[in-house]
Amino acid sequence: MLYNKFYITTPIFYINAEPHIGHAYTVIAADILARYHRIRGDKTFFLTGVDEHGEKIERKAIGQKQTPQKFADRISAEFQLTWDELNISNDFFIRTTDKKHKKAVQNILQYLYDKGDIYLGKYKGLYCRECEQYKNKKDLVNGKCPEHQIVPEKIEEECYMFKMSKYQNKLLKLIKTDKVKIRPLERKNEILNFYKDGLKDISFSRKNVKWGIQLPWDKSQTVYVWADAFLNYLTGLAWDGNFEKVPEMWPADLHLMSKDILRVHSTIWLAMLLALDLPLPKQLFSHGFFLINGQKMSKSIGNVIAPKDLVKKYKIDGARYLLISATPFGHDGDVSWKKFDEKYNADLANGLGNLLARSVALMDKMRLKGIKMQVKDENFQFSIFNFQSIFNNQFSISKNEFKMSRIWETYKKKFISIELDKIIDLINQQQRFLDSFITATKPWELIKNKDEKVGIIMYNVLERLRQITWMILPFMPDTAEKIWESLGINIVKEKEKKFSEAIKWGGLNPRSKIKKSKPLFPRI
């Protein structure tokens, strides 16, 4: 059977503290993309999880008088609970303390050691214990790690090195030619600029870190936490290191991450895959940071907002919407409780929620007057009034651009380019159009006069709302079902439709029993 596949990953999140909205932002974005591809009928696998090894976790556990494993169990459970609270639809949640993952990592690294791509050496450099990364001097700002505002330590130790330099030229060519796409483009340019200095061999083990996976050929050393973590993208597909049975879903179609870890993915991880003779991921996409007062949100700095607090105030879909629409996707953006409140009221309570309530109220008045909906082509919307004279000041595009077939073309293109904020803008534009259409046609007056034309007008309103709801579905799945329920649509049957069928005009049964529901988004 032929099908399109879509394998998407988030990074596995470091468990030195509970999840914050930066983590939630990545996972919600991945969830939206995964849900969209499932709706389209693609065979989809969505992987997320946690990174549980390393010196920092060991120190954190000791500080809390716990074993590293108990500490890892507790924080891992917090992440899984938070993803459940945010209605995340991941297919698997991987933990690097899983026995199968640890065994697979040992098998894979043994292969690289036997191949000669890992060798015993000595590493000397500047090491940030918070990042658990070696730093170049030019990475520092005033001699400090820019992420954690601490001075890296000078470390020299015997360890096993990975021949990353061996793959410099091949990787550079693959990135330049977009054989491995790095997006946004400014991030690609940053990575290409980094490559100008050349890749150096990198430490792949630590001698004095006990909380980690032991090297199979030298139990006095543990696997460097990044090498361990990267392999989750393969072990999360149940791969055990058997090169004769590479997972069907590999390679990843999209590795989604924040920009601070793009460099290690674009160098260490890609070099590892070349060394393993495995296909490289098709795209690495990095989004920006949430800023508070111009400063990156960070567990180390302490200026975090917990996802559960957002859910408590705005409910699940409200929290999902506010996070994913807070900033242009791929770029930094400032957030605050005040901004969240304003956007919630403007876009959700007064926007989508009000549109549904307004439409249902009009249908109630029609029912009382005995007027029924009538199916008519969507061109009717543009034939009963002068589109330009009414909408010219609000919408800069022509009426043809408002036809649903054109809107769907744009919607699909924006998903390909991963412009999630632009998709939300498109949806909100449709909501504003319908509000303006209702105001322009004044169906309440037509109902009062028992003008049968209102049945066509309201069918056009509700059918467009049904299609807008399909657009909303990946972003706010619970809200989408509530809207369909209000429109008298059988949710199970609607979701069983093929995507191509669902987006055709005329999917709403004109005899649907429209019904009132609780406000979608009570005003804050």
Residues designated as active site: 20, 23, 128, 131, 145, 148, 296, 299
Count of all residues that appear for the chain in the document = 524
DSSP conformational letter for 289? -
Asked if residues 517 and 486 have their Cβ atoms less than 8 Å apart, the reply is yes
Q: Which residues contact 396 (CB under 8 A, 6 or more apart)?
A: none
Edge-to-edge order in the sheet of strand 254-258: 92-95, 43-51, 5-14, 254-258, 283-287, 181-183
Q: What are phi and psi of 329, to 5 degrees?
A: -65, 125
Spatial contact of 227 and 267, defined as CB atoms under 8 Å apart = no
Q: Distance of CA 78 to CAs 18, 20, 308, 324, Å? A: 6, 11, 11, 21
As a whole number of angstroms, the distance between CA 321 and CA 475 comes to 7
Q: Residues 259, 289: contact at Cβ < 8 Å?
A: yes
Residue 341, Cα to own-chain centre: how many angstroms? 22
The backbone torsions φ and ψ at residue 125, rounded to the nearest 5 degrees and listed phi first, read 180, -175
Residue 478's contacts (CB-CB under 8 Å, 6 or more residues apart) are 87, 316, 317
Token reading at 401: 């651009």
Reported as type and span, the H/E element at residue 103 is helix 99-115
On the question of a cis peptide bond just before residue 519, with omega within 30 degrees of 0, the verdict is no
CA pair distance 299, 22, nearest whole angstrom: 10
Q: How far is CA 145 from CA 20, 126, 150, 436, 479, in A?
A: 21, 10, 6, 52, 43
CA-to-CA dists, residue 18 to 23, 75, 132, 314, 334, angstroms: 10, 6, 18, 20, 21
The runs of H, that is alpha helices, within 373-496 are 387-391, 404-416, 420-441, 443-448, 453-472, 477-486, 491-496
Give 321's Cβ-side CA count (13 Å radius).
32
